[in-house]
Structure 1
Amino acid sequence: MWSGELLDLDAYLARIGYDGPVGEDGELRPDLATLYAVHRAHTGAIAFENLDVLLGRPVELDVKALEEKLVHGRRGGYCYEQNSLLAAALERIGFEVSGRGARNRTRGDTLLAVTHAVLVVTVEGEPWLCDAGFGHQGPREPVPLARPGAEVMQGEWTYAVREEEEGILALSILREGAWRDLYAFSPQRYHPVDYVLLNHYSSTHPRSVFVGRVIVQHPGDSVRHPVRRALVGRELTRLHADGRVERRSADPGELLALLDREFGLRLSGRDAEELVRINRAGD
């Protein structure tokens, strides 16, 4: 389903710096230890970003285009790109992978359309939520779905999945002593063709949050950047596990250095110039 057979798995594993378990034959096993290692490495290595949308380029979701951009080009991407690439890699390893469509709940009580792509990976009969594309608040590792309500520690961050009516599952994060919903999704399976449609809206519709402003995020890692970071428009936010939130204005002139230093993103000369111009013209 996810065209995993077309992916250069070795190049992908090198891109994410995979250092997890490997079988005696040198192959990866579709077990829970491997799933954790791949998910953790992917989220630590590849930033969430919408820069191609700003540059007026179509966001392609076929595997070879994703490989060229996120793997060989060392760029990032948003949820459809990130999770489509992750799904192809996991499928290539031998995992059972299916898609889901989620509603963002980080904007209070506002009912938003289904515009977020997540994955459900089944290991030994047990489903796990995998999501490499929710930006700086997203999980670094898989979250179990078979035990709704169970709290899951990921480093200094705590997540839980709550079951609601009609089989809806909601992912929450613990912040400053309170649970905050990130998104919710139904049991309905989504396929790559569904993400093509959602991706078109997210990358082109004038009301999409990804149109017209820079959005670059990273959920951090345990070594170089333990703090979670987000650049939205000209505001840089640093999110600490203890609840502290640091915000500052980022001058358009420092945009390129900021992308490199905080998110590991480097653009070519023409793209860099155009991105700075667009950012200067923004509100």
Structure 2
Amino acid sequence: MTAQTPGHTAAGTTTADPARAWQGDALDLDAYLARVGYDGDRGPTLDTLRALHRAHLAAFPFENLDIVLGRPIRLDIGHLVEKLVHGRRGGYCYEHNHLFAAVLERLGFTFTGVAARVQMGTDKLRPATHMALIVTIDGTDHLADVGFGDEGLLEPLPFADGSQARQSGATFRIERRGGEWVLRSLHTDGWFDIYRFTTAPQHTLDYEIYNHYLQTHERSPFMGRIIAQKTSPELRHSLIDTTLTTTRHGGTAHERLLDPEEVPPTLRTVFGIGLAPEESSTVTTRVRAFIAE
């Protein structure tokens, strides 16, 4: 599988430009690697992919604060580097996996983007609004996803029917169901469907459409609430409005209810998201409004 993104011709058709598909040539790679604390081998190997996957999750939070603050979410690599790397912020799936794709492209990995339907335990049909990557190394495919947030993979998972792995106390599995694939995690009461997807290649212009939907549509899960999540080797931290949950991978969860005024300092101390005073004030006001609805 190869990473390809169409470029527009004068006639309005598209033509593949693999060399610039994910803007890896425009990436400040050294700044990214310093941000995630990675100084290992840069060859396109499985060990490198695993190490970068875990390093990315540990360094960057998952969050939707730009939507809360009324700012557009952009997917060009310059903006992503400025926001996530230099601004020490986070983002949601398209931001994380676009940045990670640029890193992989720059390092010489072969991969493709896919679109997934987030299930989170339900069997309802949902739109394909999540982005993940399938990376091919030495002829073997691996599902990589640094942008799911809570319940997401901690490191790449071999992409094959029945593939299963335990990652820091959490157990993940991939299954094939007809023409789709399902990523699952093992809960105390059994297997839990996280998302399902096909291997149809998605391109950057496809994700631009999905990205617009998620930050503007009234049914988007990122509208009307604050979300922040952070993954460490032992724990997952999740903040939904004023509910802060800390969960051990594959284990117990502890929940605490915050006052609205506690949200900005919690974003800073738990999730590493520092806000300017006016941003903190806006977040506090919006949280009050969200919980009053």
Give TM class, smaller chain: over 0.9
Task: Provide, for residues 229-267 of structure 1, a one-character-per-residue CA deviation record: whole Å limited to 9, x for no partner.
Answer: 111122112222353222221111111111112111111
SS at match of 2:150: helix
Distance, in Å, in 1 between the alignment partners of 2:68 and 2:119 is 24
CA apart distance, 1:153 = 1.3
Task: Provide, for residues 176-218 of structure 1, a one-character-per-residue CA deviation record: whole Å limited to 9, x for no partner.
Answer: 1511110011010001111100000000111111011101112
Task: Provide, for residues 19-47 of structure 1, a one-character-per-residue CA deviation record: whole Å limited to 9, x for no partner.
Answer: 4x32xxxxx10111111111110011100
Q: Does 1:215 align with 2:227?
A: yes
Distance, in Å, in 1 between the alignment partners of 2:177 and 2:132 is 18
Query: How many residue pairs get matched?
Result: 271
Distance, in Å, in 1 between the alignment partners of 2:185 and 2:193 is 6
5+ residue gaps in structure 2?
A: 1-20
SS at match of 1:137: coil
Task: Provide, for residues 131-152 of structure 1, a one-character-per-residue CA deviation record: whole Å limited to 9, x for no partner.
Answer: 011112111101110x321221
Alignment partner for residue 56 of structure 2, among 37, 42, 47? Answer: 42
5+ residue gaps in structure 1?
A: 23-27
> What is residue 29 of structure 2 aligned with on the other side?
9
Do the aligned partners of 1:229 and 1:239 also contact (CA within 8 Å) in 2? yes
- 6-15 vs 175-184, greater mean Cα deviation: 175-184
SS at match of 1:136: coil
Q: Does 1:199 align with 2:207?
A: no
> What is residue 25 of structure 1 aligned with on the other side?
none
- 7-16 vs 151-160, greater mean Cα deviation: 151-160
Q: Which amino acid counterpart does residue 257 of structure 2 have in structure 1? A: S
> What is residue 171 of structure 2 aligned with on the other side?
158
CA apart distance, 1:94 = 0.5
> What is residue 88 of structure 1 aligned with on the other side?
102
> What is residue 258 of structure 2 aligned with on the other side?
250
Q: How does 1:81-230 map to 2 (within 5 A)?
A: 81-145=95-159, 147-166=160-179, 168-218=180-230, 220-222=231-233, 226-230=234-238
Q: Does 1:30 align with 2:44?
A: yes
Q: Which amino acid counterpart does residue 10 of structure 1 have in structure 2? A: D
TM-score, length of structure 2 as denominator length: 0.90
Moved segments of 4+, more than 4 Å: none
Distance, in Å, in 2 between the alignment partners of 1:241 and 1:221 is 9
> What is residue 260 of structure 1 aligned with on the other side?
268
Q: Which amino acid counterpart does residue 76 of structure 2 have in structure 1? A: D
Do the aligned partners of 1:17 and 1:41 also contact (CA within 8 Å) in 2? yes
TM-score, length of structure 1 as denominator length: 0.93
- 7-16 vs 241-250, greater mean Cα deviation: 241-250
Do the aligned partners of 2:237 and 2:270 also contact (CA within 8 Å) in 1? yes
Task: Provide, for residues 148-177 of structure 1, a one-character-per-residue CA deviation record: whole Å limited to 9, x for no partner.
Answer: 2122111111111001101x1111111115
Q: Which amino acid counterpart does residue 239 of structure 1 have in structure 2? A: T
> What is residue 232 of structure 1 aligned with on the other side?
240
